[in-house]
Amino acid sequence: MALSFSLEHTDADSKARAGKITTAHGEISTPIFMPVGTAGSVKAVTQQQLYQEVKAQIILGNTYHLYLRPGIEILNKAGGLHGFMHWDKPILTDSGGYQVFSLAQSRKIKEEGVLFQSHIDGSRHLFSPEKVMDIQRNIGADIIMAFDECPPGQSEYNYAKNSLMLTQRWLDRCINHLNSTEPLYGYEQNLFPIVQGNQFHDLRKMSCEYVASKQAPGNAIGGLSVGEPEAVMYEITALCCEHLPADKPRYLMGVGTPWNILECISLGVDMFDCVMPTRNGRNGMLFTTNGVINIKNKKWADDFTPIDEGLPNEISHYYTKAYLRHLFVAGELLGLTIASLQNLCFYLWLVSEARKEIIKGTFTSWKNAMTEQLKQRL
Amino acid sequence: MALSFSLEHTDADSKARAGKITTAHGEISTPIFMPVGTAGSVKAVTQQQLYQEVKAQIILGNTYHLYLRPGIEILNKAGGLHGFMHWDKPILTDSGGYQVFSLAQSRKIKEEGVLFQSHIDGSRHLFSPEKVMDIQRNIGADIIMAFDECPPGQSEYNYAKNSLMLTQRWLDRCINHLNSTEPLYGYEQNLFPIVQGNQFHDLRKMSCEYVASKQAPGNAIGGLSVGEPEAVMYEITALCCEHLPADKPRYLMGVGTPWNILECISLGVDMFDCVMPTRNGRNGMLFTTNGVINIKNKKWADDFTPIDEGLPNEISHYYTKAYLRHLFVAGELLGLTIASLQNLCFYLWLVSEARKEIIKGTFTSWKNAMTEQLKQRL
């Protein structure tokens, strides 16, 4: 069964939408945030906690990391990533394009693909569109991403254009290779192409039209949240949403803060992923319904109120700010788990509230008030 | 309500006993293992997991660590350690005696107490019997330990004897100070004296008799598992059990491996604590019903069997050896959590099985077979 998307409600005052994605591993209510499980684990969180506390509907894995460790042979023997990590809901895998450009020790971009050295042991590898499709076949995610070039955020027009042309040729090779191979685990995998084009409107528009012409089950916007001003990110996101099909889910890759997510929902984005809730959580930065907390701050030392009373999750009520601060100060691993859970619970709560507000027809006013509230530094 | 102990069954073929300890925070079935939560957290494990997965009946905190961080003022404001970490079952606190001797940067033992420097910031502190009782009043554990001197395992007879005499004088000061102060949180705290005397039979016997004369609600055996041969540990444990009251729980401090615990249960010990399940777990050493596993070993890379099918716990069935090995190899925090949970679940399972076998009258043969099985290196 291929992925399908049904639109349930479109906001009158914005481009926000509420919908439902159906995959072989179940349904996803949109807008949705996808916790990042880079190497087969959402860091510091158990799968039980992802199901029961976070109520994650889909998680993300990363082709580059999974290819290096545990490797394709192990994943294949395990029946794919679902079996390997024992996760029965939908999974999306990033193509590794972004990682080979940002993580690998050295890399050489050719028409054929990208030659790179592993950040772990310096070993040499080639990622081509075909290779990346084969790897993603073995990982077995429900949604798989096209292999794209990710040019630096500050690229000149000509570099950006040449890069986009390469990404488009690679997209065709991804599609061709995927069409000539079969899924390995008995269910369909769905390729999402990625829009590139940096901050150049004509390139973004061209990319959207090219991507749209492929009639993929969903489409992604890449190359944002890489250092550009927020206003530029919103402007390009709005432009891409306008030119991407309305009847397919739109996935904005790697974005972002809670208020970035609210704003981009209002622009028509349906799917998000970001390492921010887990990474910032491990550094002691908490996102709460009242604003942002640096839990290491001395001011929380004797604050015995719950971490976040505004969330329905047990973890947010069970532990106090004073206790969580103590765990961070004492270097206790439990602190990393609680902070990661708080932030993931918050992100999942935020998108589910957004969805309710869209359906109620009150999204825009709610978003504006919520944005002020969430940005506060407590 | 003071702690009470009822003996339910005494083994015919050994000194093993099954009993029940009742505290203000609930009942404890013995023999029992107490997970160590040194600084107010059983490392890498949530309180929810302790309740639901591990089924811990009592946990241990440490006076030295809690006194340094978060400090007595915070603990007092939180209503004690139970409130601070949100743990509603019984807690036992170690007196800090062992830590000031093993962890502090420098220490000076005087009749008054021990002057030491914090291992965290070098700050100077005095632990006296009275001070340690005051700290434990503020922590509010159900079972609190006397402040003892912990002489090196290889001490000469005269050093050991003088040390024991000091420990006995300190015990009297602990009892006097406790009797002259009130519990802070409305429930009784129960002081366990600690038997010392190194490997010297006459000193151990003298210490047991002194300790027994105090008619405390429970008694502890200290100064073992500090590098002596296993045979010596068993010999001294047997001697102490013989000379300690039979109608009070006996707590063997800091012991040990699964087979140490089984052997010491057979000698008459009721309570155990040890950092081994959590510390060794974080190093990739798993205790399972089939034997010991170094999960980092290459041989587990494609072993897709559950971590331990012999345990009833979800965590032991849910994740495979291959997945857990991957988490360790990739440095994922989840590996530390799963390994800690596996080992704690195993230790709690082991003592509950021992209890069943004692009640059935089949303990000794079960223990002998189990010891062989558990010691195997897989």
A67-98 pLDDT, tens digit per residue, is 999 999 999 999 999 999 999 999 999 999 88
Backbone angles phi, psi at B27, to 5 degrees: -95, 155
Q: What is the mean pLDDT of residues A287-293?
A: 98
Question: Who among A65, A77, A315 is closest to B302 (CB)?
Answer: A77
Q: Is residue B117 part of a domain?
A: no
Q: Which one of B248, B274, B300 terminates a domain? A: B274
Residue B97, annotated as binding a ligand? yes
Residues in A closer than 8 angstroms to B77, CB to CB, are 302, 304
**pTM score > 0.95 for this model?**
yes
Residue A41 CA to residue A57 CA, distance in Å, equals 15
Shared domain check, B180 and B312: no
Contact A44 B314 (CB under 8 A): no
A304-318, pLDDT tens digit by residue?
A: 999 999 999 999 999
Classify residue A324: in a domain, yes or no.
yes
Helix (H, G, I), strand (E, B) or coil at B266: helix
Residue A302 domain flag: yes
Contact of B45 with chain A, judged by CB distance below 8 Å, is answered with yes
Catalytic residues of B: 94, 273
The question of ipTM being above 0.95 is answered as: yes
Q: Which of A208, A242, A274 is the last residue of a domain?
A: A274
Query: Amino acid identity, residue B247?
Result: D
| Segment holding A295, helix H or strand E | none
Number of helices and strands in chain A (H, E): 15, 17
**Which of chain A's residues have a Cβ under 8 Å away from the Cβ of B314?**
48
Q: How far apart are CA A347 and CA A354, in angstroms?
A: 11
| B237 and B256 co-located in one domain | yes
B5: left (phi over 0), alpha (psi -120 to 50) or beta: beta
According to the model, what pLDDT value does residue B1 have? 66
State the smallest CA–CA distance between residue A187 and chain B in angstroms.
Answer: 22
> A365 — contact with chain B (CB < 8 Å)?
no
How sure is the predictor about A1, in pLDDT bands with cuts at 50, 70 and 90? low
For residue B61, whether the previous peptide bond is cis, meaning omega lies within 30 degrees of 0, is no
Q: What is the CATH number of the domain that holds A201?
A: 3.20.20.105
Verify that B241 and B320 share a domain, yes or no.
Answer: no
CB–CB of A60/A37 below 8 Å?
Answer: yes
Report, as residue numbers or ranges, the catalytic residues of A.
Answer: 94, 273
Mean pLDDT, chain A, whole residue set: 97
Taking residues A224-236, what's their average pLDDT? 95
Which parts of chain B have pLDDT scores under 70? 1
Q: Does A98 show up as a binding residue in the annotation?
A: yes
Q: Is the Cβ of B140 closer than 8 Å to some Cβ of chain A?
A: no
Cβ–Cβ contact A103 with B under 8 A: no
Burial class of residue A70, CB neighbours in 10 A (0-12, 13-18, 19+): buried
Q: B196 and B88, same structural domain?
A: yes
- With b for 16 or more beta-carbon neighbours within 10 A and e for fewer, the A79-96 pattern comes to ebbbbbbbbebbbbbbbb
Query: Any CB–CB contact under 8 A between A298 and chain B?
Result: no
Chain B residues in contact with A314 (beta carbon < 8 A): 48
Q: Which of residues 306-335 of A touch B (CB under 8 A)?
A: 314-315, 318-320, 322-323, 326-327, 329-330, 332-335
Do B131 and B49 lie in one domain? The reply is: yes
Task: Give strand pairing partners of B21.
Answer: B5, B28
Boundary (domain end) residue, out of A230, A249, A274 = A274
Do residues A209 and A185 share a domain?
yes
Whether A241 has a pLDDT exceeding 90, the answer reads yes
- Is A81 contained in some domain? yes
- Tell me: do A317 and A231 sit in the same domain: no
Give a yes or no: residue A163 inside a domain.
Answer: yes
Both A215 and A239 in one domain: the answer is yes
Residues in chain A within 8 Å Cβ distance of B69: 326, 329-330
Q: Which long-range contacts (CB under 8 A, 24 or more apart) does A72-77 make?
A: A72/A134, A72/A135, A72/A138, A72/A139, A73/B302, A74/B301, A74/B302, A74/B322, A74/B326, A75/A138, A75/A139, A75/A140, A76/A138, A76/A184, A77/B302, A77/B304
**Enclosing domain of residue B291:** 281-374
Separation between Cα atoms, residue A65 and residue A81, nearest integer Å? 12
B242 located within any domain:
yes
How many angstroms separate the CA of residue A169 from the nearest CA in chain B?
34
Q: How many domains does chain B have?
A: 2
* Residue B266 and residue B306 in one domain: no
Q: Please list every residue in chain A whose beta carbon sits closer than 8 Å to the beta carbon of residue B327.
A: 40-41
pLDDT at B104: 73
Q: Do B78 and A40 touch (CB under 8 A)?
A: no
Q: Considering the domain boundaries, does residue B106 fall inside one? A: no
Same-domain pairing of A268 and A291: no
Query: What is the mean pLDDT of the segment spanning A17-43?
Result: 98
Q: Does B103 touch chain A (CB under 8 A)?
A: no
The answer to the question of residue B77 being in a domain is: yes
Amino acid making up residue B69: R
Q: Looking at residue B105, what is its pLDDT?
A: 77
**Statement to judge: residues B251 and B233 lie in one domain:** yes
Chain B residues 47-86 within an 8 A CB cutoff of chain A: 47-48, 65, 69-70, 73-74, 77-78, 83-86
Residues B159 and B233 in one domain: yes
> What's the average model confidence in pLDDT over A156-179?
97
How near does any CA of chain A get to the CA of B68, in Å?
A: 10
Measured between beta carbons, which residues in chain B are less than 8 angstroms from residue A45?
Answer: 334
Closest CB to A46 among B39, B47, B337: B337
Closest Cβ–Cβ partner in B73, B322, B332 for A78: B322
pLDDT at A143 over 70: yes
Per residue in B28-45, pLDDT (tens digit) is: 999 999 999 999 999 999
Residue B318's φ and ψ, nearest 5 degrees, are -75, -40
Mutate to test the interface with A, among B77, B323, B340, B341 (most CBs of A within 10 A): B323
Residue bearing the bigger pLDDT, A219 or A101: A219
